[in-house]
Amino acid sequence: MGNEQIKVLHIDTEKSWRGGQQQVVYLFEAMLEAGYNTKLLCKVNSALELYCKKANIPYYSIKMRNEFDIITAYKIAKICKKEKFNILHLHSAHAMAIGLLVKLFYHKLKLVGVKRVDFNIKKNFLSKIKYSKMDKIVCVSNRIKHVLIEDKIEEDKLLTIHSGIDLKKFDDCKPTEELKNNFDIPESNIIVGTVAAITGHKDYPNLIKAAKLVIDKIKNITFCAVGDGKLRNEMQNYVKKIGLEKYFIFLGFRKDVGNLLKTFDIFVLASHLEGLGTSILDAQAAGLPVIATETGGIPEIIENNVNGILVSPKNSTKLAEAIMNLSKDKRKRGLLIKKAKETIRTFDIKNTIEKNIELYRDLLKND
Return phi, psi of residue 247, to 5°. Answer: -110, -15
Task: Tell whether the model's pLDDT for residue 1 goes beyond 60.
Answer: no
Q: State whether 190 and 158 are in the same domain.
A: no
Q: State whether 284 and 154 are in the same domain.
A: no
DSSP output for 156-219 = GGEEE----B-TTTTTT----HHHHHHTT--TT-EEEEEE--SSGGG-HHHHHHHHHHHHTT-S
Q: State whether 198 and 327 are in the same domain.
A: yes
Q: How confident is the model at residue 241 (pLDDT cuts 50, 70, 90)?
A: very high
Provide mean pLDDT across the span 29-33: 95
The confidence score (pLDDT) of residue 120 equals: 85
The confidence score (pLDDT) of residue 252 equals: 94
pLDDT of 47-98, one tens digit each? 999 999 999 999 999 988 877 889 999 999 999 999 999 999 999 989 999 9
What single-letter DSSP state applies at residue 358? H
Q: 324 lies in a domain?
A: yes
Q: How confident is the model at residue 174 (pLDDT cuts 50, 70, 90)?
A: very high
The confidence score (pLDDT) of residue 2 equals: 64
Q: 170 lies in a domain?
A: no
Whole-angstrom Cα distance, residue 134 to residue 140? 16
Task: Tell whether the model's pLDDT for residue 363 goes beyond 60.
Answer: yes
The confidence score (pLDDT) of residue 69 equals: 87
The residue segments making up the domain with residue 252 are 177-347
What single-letter DSSP state applies at residue 308? B
The confidence score (pLDDT) of residue 366 equals: 72
- Residues 276 and 301 sit within 8 Å (Cβ to Cβ): yes
Whole-angstrom Cα distance, residue 58 to residue 37? 10
pLDDT of 288-302, one tens digit each? 999 999 999 999 999
Tally of CB atoms within 10 A around 93: 21
Q: 77 lies in a domain?
A: yes
Whole-angstrom Cα distance, residue 209 to residue 222? 14
Q: 91 lies in a domain?
A: yes
Q: State whether 153 and 282 are in the same domain.
A: no
Percent of the chain with pLDDT over 70: 98
Q: State whether 243 and 289 are in the same domain.
A: yes
Return phi, psi of residue 202, to 5°. Answer: -80, -15
Domain tally for the chain?
Answer: 2
Q: State whether 199 and 342 are in the same domain.
A: yes
Q: State whether 303 and 210 are in the same domain.
A: yes
Q: 169 lies in a domain?
A: no
Q: 288 lies in a domain?
A: yes
pLDDT of 254-309, one tens digit each? 989 999 999 999 999 999 999 999 999 999 999 999 999 999 999 999 999 999 99
Q: State whether 225 and 238 are in the same domain.
A: yes
The confidence score (pLDDT) of residue 10 equals: 98
Whole-angstrom Cα distance, residue 293 to residue 311? 5
Return phi, psi of residue 269, to 5°. Answer: -125, 120
Q: Residue 333 is part of a domain; what is its CATH number?
A: 3.40.50.2000
> For residue 11, which amino acid is it?
I
Share the mean pLDDT of the chain. 94
Q: State whether 149 and 183 are in the same domain.
A: no
Q: 205 lies in a domain?
A: yes
Return phi, psi of residue 63, to 5°. Answer: -80, 130
pLDDT of 99-134, one tens digit each? 999 999 999 999 999 999 888 887 666 777 888 899
The confidence score (pLDDT) of residue 101 equals: 95
Whole-angstrom Cα distance, residue 125 to residue 128? 5
Q: State whether 157 and 203 are in the same domain.
A: no
Q: What is the pTM of this model?
A: 0.92
Q: State whether 241 and 324 are in the same domain.
A: yes
Q: 171 lies in a domain?
A: no
Q: State whether 352 and 293 are in the same domain.
A: no
The confidence score (pLDDT) of residue 7 equals: 96
The confidence score (pLDDT) of residue 127 equals: 77
Grouping H, G, I as helix, E, B as strand and the rest as coil, residue 322 is helix
